[in-house]
Structures are given as C-alpha cells and as structure tokens.
Amino acid sequence: MEDIIFIGDWIKDRVLGSGSFGIVVLWKHKTSEEKLAIKTCKWGDELTAKHRERWTKEVEMLQTCSHPNIVGTKTLPKEFIAGLVPVNPSKLPILCMEYCGGGDLRQLLNKPDASCGLKEVKVRKILSDIGSAMQFLHSNKITHRDLKPENIVLYQPNGTKEAEENIVYKIIDLGYAKEIDSNSICASFVGTLQYLAPEIFYSKTYSNSVDFWSLGLIAFEIICGTRPFLPLKAPVEWMPHVKKKQHDNICVFETFHGDIEYSNEIFAENHISKPFKALIEDWLKVALEWDPKLRGRDAPSKVTFNIPCDNNETGMASKVIIFDLLQNILRRKIIKIFCLSTISKLAFEIDSGTTIGMLKEFIVKETCIAVEDQMLISQVNFIDILNDEQVIKYWNENSAIMLFLYNRKHMIQENTSPTVPIAIQRCLEHPKALYNYRNSQTLYRNAIYFVNTQMENYDLIINAMFIRAESLKQESKHLLLKHNNIDKTIGKLYAKVEIIKSMIEMGEKHITGLKESNTGTNILGGFEQSFKAGHELADKVEKLSTAWAQLSVRLQSAARRSNEGISNDLNNFVGRNNYQAIFTNAYKTFLSHKKSDFYNSNREKEKQCSEIVRVCYDCLKLRSKILQELQNHQFLLKLKDLSVEFGKIADIITKANENIDKLSKFLVEFTEEFTNCIWSTITVVVRDAENISDLPYSVVSYQKRDFKVGEPVNNQLQTLLVNDNEIKSVVEESLMLRQNQMMLCKKLNTQKNVLHNSIFDFSFLNEN
C-alpha cells in the first residue's frame, strides 16, 4: 500500500498501525473530509490456513458485532475494491472501519502524567465503556482473548479534540476472538503474554474467564499506572508468586529491598477518591481471582457463560457477577470536595436523600471542623449552601471537584503537611543513595505523581480563593437585600411609633390640663401606665433605628470592599509563584531517564538519581514558600477580614430582625391596650354621664397602712372620713362640683340630640 497515494477522491493520510501480518491505513476524502481506517493483509501465499481463518473470522465478527464500544465497520467504497487489489495479494476480505483519532490506551498510559494512573473521571469512563463491550461479547458467546491497552482506542465523535466526557473508548482487534459455549473450550495459546490469564500458561483449556483477568489487570493499571503483579518480571517469573496469593490479595510487588509483598489494596499513589478506591478493590478481588472457576463469579463452577450445570455435579450453578458488580459501582455517586483549610481532597458516597447537613457530619469525622464552622460553596452559584439542601443537586460525574469547603475561623491552617510518597521520603532522607532499575522506576513514577499533585493542590487553592471572593460578593448582595427589606420594616415601625408618640403627647397635654383644673380626672389614672409603656417602646425603636443606621454604613463599606475583587492580586501572585519550572524540569528528567541506557539496558547496575531528587526537594521548598507568603498576603488577609465582617453583620441582622419582630409585637399589644383604655373610658363616660361624681384627680389619697386586714373596707373608709375634718370639707366641695357637672350633662344631652338629628351626605365616596 506504500506505492498507492490516491484512489478516486480518496487520499492516503498515514499508516495507523502494522501488525504481524496486517496493516491499517488512514484514508481521507478530499472534499467531504470523511476518514476511514482500512485494514488489509500484507502477506500472500505464505499465509497458513489458520491465519486465513483468523483474518476472516475477525472481519465477520466486527461486521456482526454492533455495539457503541466495539469499533464499527463501514461499507468499503467501491473504488477501493479495485484500487487495493495490487496491495492485497492474499485476496482476503478488506476491513473498513471507523476512524478513532484519539490513539490507543497504551499511548495514554505512556504519558508522564499517567505514571501513577489516570484521573477518576477517565477511569470510570474506560471501565464503563470496556465493561459494557465485554459484557456484550460474552452475552453473544464470544471471548476476546487478547484484551490489552493496545486494543482499546479513543474515538472522538467529531474527529477533533473533544472534552473528556465526549470521548468513547472502543475495543478493536477481534482476531483472536472465538465463540465459546458450555460444551467448547479454547485450546490455543493466544494473546499478549503479560495480560494472559494464568490458566493459559498452566493448562491447555480455558473459558471466557480469561477476559475477566485481562479486564482486572487493565483496571488496576489505569488506576495505578502499573500492573498489579510484579510488572517488571516475565510471566514465568511472576506466576509462581501470584499463584500463592489469597483471594483478598489484589497486588503482589517487590519492596525497596527486593522482598515480595502481598497487598489487599491498590497503591497509595493514585488519583481516585477513597470511596471509589474501596469499591474497586472489592471488585478487583473478584476479577483477579487465581482460580478460573471462581473468577468473576459468586461461587465455584465449571459452567461457562452462566449456563446452569447438571444437578448431579455441583447443584446450583454459580452466577457471573463481574459485570453487574462493576456497573453497580459505577452507578454509585461520590461527592468530591476540596478543603482549603487543610489543603486536602475529601470524598463521600451520597444518595438522593443525603442533605448538606448530613454531609457536614461526615466532614466532621474526616477533618474535625465543627459543623457550625463549615461553609460549603459551589462554583456554580458561589452561595453558601443551606443545611437542608440535597447534595445530589451539586453532584457532577464529569467534575473532579464539586464543592469547596471553608473553615469560618481561618482560611488556611498553619503548618499543613503534604502527603509525600514513601519513595520520595526515602530519597530526600538519603539523597545520595544508589538505585537499581526497579527502585528507580518507582522513584521516577512517584516523583512525577508528587509534582502533579502539588500543582493540582496549588491550582485548587487559587481557585478556592477566587470562589471565596465571588461568594463574598454574593454574600454582600444577599446581606444588602436582607438589609433593605429590614430597613423598610424599620421605617414602617418608626412611622407607627411616631403616630403613637403624637397620640401620647396629645393625651399627656389633655390630662395635664385636667389636673391643673382639677376636673374630670378620676377615671383617667390608667393612662399613665400606657403612656409610660409607649415612651419605653419609642425609646427602643429610636435606639434600634440609630444602631441600624450605623450598621448600614458598615455594610456599605464591606460590600464596596468585596466588589473591588482580588483577581489582579491573585494573578500577580501566581505569576511570581508557580510550579511551571519544576513541572517542566520533572518531565524532562523523567523522559531523559526513559531514554537512558540505564532504562533500556544494564538494569542490574545501580546509580544515583540526583536529578529527580533535586526536583522533589525544589517542589517541597516551593510549596513551603507559597504557603508562607499566602498566610500574610494582602488578598488572603482581605478575604479573612471580609469573611469575619460579613459573619458579624449577618449575626447583627439576624438579631435585629428578631428585635424588630418583638417590637412589632409589642407595638400591636400596646396599640390594642391603648385603644382599649380609650374606649373603656368613653364607655364609662357615656354610661354614667348623668350619675358620675367628678372628683378631682387627687381628691383622696389612701395609704396601705390606713387599712386593717380582716375588717370591711367600707367601715375603715367611713372611720377615716369621720375622723378627718379636711376630708369633710373636700366632700362638701365635691358636692358643689357635682351640681356643676349636672348642668354640664344637660348641655351635653342637648348637643347629643342635635347631633342625632343631623343629616350627613356621604355620596361623594361613591364617585369614581
């Protein structure tokens, strides 16, 4: 195919891959820009019948296996049928496939930043896509037999660089795939050695459970960046050790000193959350079971493809659970949080019933930050989330961090320690130590991981500060809104109190006048208490109004400062302090190590790794410098001050609102009592207008000591009146006033009659 450049309107772009006897070429249409991956056999008569059968079988399987996660076939354009004859000496079918332009999974894993695995979002997507494809093949009685990273490609729907959530992972190369049922087993040695299941080496027969093993190895590798079982050894070397592992062991590795260790956990250096890690570890125990009868199932069985066995053998057949278990894990929802205070990532499994209040209780156990000191903010709306809200509202499967956690007492704790891999700790403690090839591999992988995690944490710190600054703007708007609402309420309350004050002032003047003239005051004594209560209420409202005016000035000042922003200060800080130089140096050192003779040969030789040790040291030193400067930087101090200020203002507004409610209630009660007092007095006047004795306000003054307990009050009162000559004179005077009052009553009755007989016209109220 090397000599053919044009076929009709198609142009040869490049060779995508070349295998033992097949070659895949990318062809591009010159007008429609359509791309096709065309696979032809590069051999002719030298092909064996077995090779011809395998080729034909792959074409047939791909054409019949229609699944979104298995590379799709397309109809070969007519011009290629004749155009490719010169480069197809075997005359075998030509395979025309959709083009997957994202490369393969092996290329993705070979990148330096994947040295300790991929991000959780990618891990979930790969496991979902490949698990679905494998379940489809097995449900159609097909085993792949050669599942490995090289046979998983990345499909970009629009042919261009896509966001991670739009990339689709697909299985290719079904050349070794074979149909299997309960009565047939494989007996051929196929597949890549490092991903082959143990029974292929130890036995002549195997079932579709070999794919479970391969899928488990791939899952472990995309999470940790390396295979779980002594990855630097050949299968003949690692198999005997792995054969000894227990069911719970999912990892077998060599220590720094060359000892063989068995572990129930994946390596600590990874990019997945703790809840997902625990779930996937349980799944790996099922996928990486040594015994093929147990692997992928819930109980031992010789049955393939979940077909029930004979009752005479083992009774009920075991059930294949590996795919359902994986899908169940991938359906679990995990909320991911970045805590600025401790510079750490938190993650918790949630469901539709989990509230923010419940989430805060989880956080207390993890960070010891009290619930009342926690502030959870989403970068979607920058608002402090209320405790009764549902957490599921903020869950996003494509987001690495969904919520940001802040401590109300401080922004960043002092002396926060980073999580340093053991290999990095060792190299910093012994910078001149010698490393063999195996230990150097671990060191370089962990060093890149360490630098990457510190860069990510730094980006999250800066992002968290931006988000907090934005949330303070939102907080100021929210407080201003509450302030304005309360301000209107205070204004209405103040207006009502002014009316009450005016009524009290008028009432006091009238009663003072009556006192001075010594007329009509014997039934007005109850007003004094009302006037006193009214004055007290007015004083409280006045004080509240004065304090509220001061708070208004304080809030306006804080709101103005929050709107000034910190973007410029933060950008300047990041421009001076960043990990870019260290990151670049780490990558160069890592790539240089991979190209070195030490990497490719002389693996038994030991040497120092001073360059990568220096990278780790510089990374830690920069982290310490950044955090020290952050603690005293202007924008962080500004965030601290505004956080405290808004917290205090919020408390004052809450208390003011509570006091306003109380004062409003008191005002209603006072108005009712005052009104009741007025109408009660009017009622007495109207009822007893002809008989009431209008004694002066202070005609008689009785003291408690003038009365004796146990004797009728009337007797004591009569004694007092008889023995007191002054009182007698007063009574005589009162009788004269009585006569005057009767004359006034007659005049009043006359006026009442006139008022009663008068006619008023209220027709103007009906006018429009």
Report the C-alpha gap between 215 and 221 in whole angstroms: 10
Looking at the structure, tell me whether residues 161 and 287 fall in a common domain.
yes
State which amino acid sits at residue 724: D
Closest CA to 430 of 234, 609, 307: 609
Asked whether 427 and 612 are in contact (CB, 8 A), the reply is: yes
Question: Could you tell me if 396 and 453 lie in one domain?
Answer: no
- Residue 677 is predicted with a pLDDT of 77
Asked if the structure places residue 218 within a domain, the reply is yes
- Could you tell me whether strands 344-350 and 333-339 are parallel, antiparallel, or unpaired per DSSP bridges? antiparallel
Interacting residues of 427 by C-beta distance below 8 A, sequence separation 6+ = 433, 443, 447, 609, 612, 613, 616
Is 554 found in the same domain as 465?
yes
The CATH code of the domain that includes 82 is 3.30.200.20
216 and 282 inside one domain: yes
Is 664:495 a contact under the CB 8 Å cutoff?
Answer: no
Report the distance separating Cα 233 and Cα 438, nearest Å.
10
Among 297, 329, 361, residue at a domain's last position: 329
Q: Within this chain, do residues 288 and 220 fall inside the same structural domain, yes or no?
A: yes
If asked whether residues 304 and 336 sit together in one domain, one would say no
Q: If DSSP states are collapsed to H, E and C, what string results for 268-284?
A: CCCCCCHHHHHHHHHHH
Beta bridge partners of 616: none
Q: Residue 313 to residues 159, 295, 297: CA-CA distances in angstroms?
A: 53, 19, 17
Residue 589 is which amino acid?
A: T
Q: What is the structure's pLDDT at 430?
A: 94
Determine the Cα–Cα distance for residues 741 and 266; give it in Å rounded to an integer.
105
Three-state SS at 617: helix
| Residue 423 CB neighbours (<10 A) | 23
CA distance 593 to 447: 12
Q: For residue 601, give the CATH number of its domain.
A: 1.20.1270
pLDDT digits (tens, 9 = 90+) for 673-703: 878 877 777 776 666 555 544 444 333 334 4
698 occurs within a structural domain = no
Whether 696 maps to a domain, the answer reads no
- The Cα-based distances of 580 to 113, 142, 552 in angstroms read 14, 48, 46
CATH of the domain at 105: 1.10.510.10
Whether residue 72 is found in the same domain as residue 169: no
E-only strand ranges, 571-617: 607-608
Q: How far is 645 from 555, CA to CA, in rounded Å?
A: 9
Query: Is 675 contained in some domain?
Result: no
Asked if 49 and 43 touch (Cβ cutoff 8 Å), the reply is: no
- 501 and 605 share a domain? yes
Contact 370, 384 (CB under 8 A): no
Based on the domain organization, do 275 and 355 belong to the same domain?
no
Residues 392 and 517 placed together within one structural domain of the fold: no
- Domain boundary residue among 349, 374, 409? 409
Residue 426 neighbours by CB distance under 10 Å: 19
Residue-level pLDDT at 467: 93
Which domain-ending residue is among 618, 650, 670? 670
Residue-wise pLDDT for 430-453, tens only, equals 999 999 989 999 999 999 999 999
Does 607 share its domain with 635?
yes
Distance CA 179, CA 631 (A): 65
685 within some domain: no
Q: How far apart are CA 222 and CA 210, in angstroms?
A: 19
Residue 676, in any domain of the structure = no
| Low-confidence residues of the chain: pLDDT under 70 | 1-2, 20, 159-164, 175-192, 204, 300-317, 518-526, 597-602, 684-768
CATH number at residue 366: 3.10.20.90
Dihedral of CA atoms 206, 208, 209, 210 in degrees, nearest 10, equals 70
Whether 684 maps to a domain, the answer reads: no
- Whether 694 maps to a domain, the answer reads no
Evaluate whether 527 touches 511 at the Cβ level (below 8 Å): yes
| C-alpha radius of gyration, the chain, whole number | 44
Regarding whether 267 and 387 lie in a shared domain, the answer is: no
Maximum distance among all alpha carbons in the chain?
Answer: 152
Domain containing residue 625: 435-670
Domain tally, the chain: 5
